Amino acid sequence: MDPSPGASFAELQKLLRKRPAAPSGERCDYCAVPLAPEHGHLVDLKARRILCSCRPCYLVFEPEGAAQGRYKTVPTRYERVSGFAVDDAQWDAFQIPIALAFFFFNSIEGKLSAFYPGPAGATESQLPLETWDTIAAQYPVLATLQADVEAILIHRRTGAPARCAIVPIDAAYELVGVMRTNWRGFDGGQDVWNRIDAFFAKVDERCDGRALVRPW
């Protein structure tokens, strides 16, 4: 109830003390409980959104087919693809203008999709399946990719071996966020590339099992 025009200062203070503090930090998109910095995610297949989730809500949607299959839990696997290489002609065939990209299988559309991050977000590239099939045939681990919830992350580097890993889909979009929020000028600026190197250092740690993924 709003205070009357003649309310005393003490009454106003009492009223303000009763008002709950505004929530801060990330919260579960289902039950609104506060979340730790490391928490679970789900993919809403219909809306193509990644949702934050507490542990109990995550477990509700973990069984295959839960909620008529609309939601899928994002797993925690980080697996390096050792010895990965892709030549210039193959990369050019993907029509990806930068040295970073991620690939995931979209079960709704029934196809493998390719995206590259940039200052405007994630841009989809038309993926020539014959080129991808040639690459994937050399690395059997790529066939273990879980549809919708895992991505193949590739970083080609000048004068160094390419980086390639299977990561949770939320990690791929984390990289998109790093580029979108830190890109400056024509080439991005040194700061954004330092942050990208730090991101891949974290991926390497998790591939090696040297980092806690989620406190569950």
**Phi-psi group of 83: left, alpha or beta (phi > 0 → left; psi -120 to 50 → alpha; rest → beta):** left
* Complete DSSP assignment for 42-58: EEETTTTEEEEE-HHHH
Residue 23 exposed, middle or buried by CB count within 10 Å (0-12, 13-18, 19+): exposed
For the stretch 20-59, pLDDT in tens is: 544 557 899 989 999 988 899 999 998 889 999 999 999 9
**pTM of the complete model:** 0.82
Instruction: Give 158's pLDDT tier (boundaries 50, 70, 90).
Output: confident
pLDDT of 152 strictly over 80? yes
Domain residue limits, the chain = 1-73, 79-207
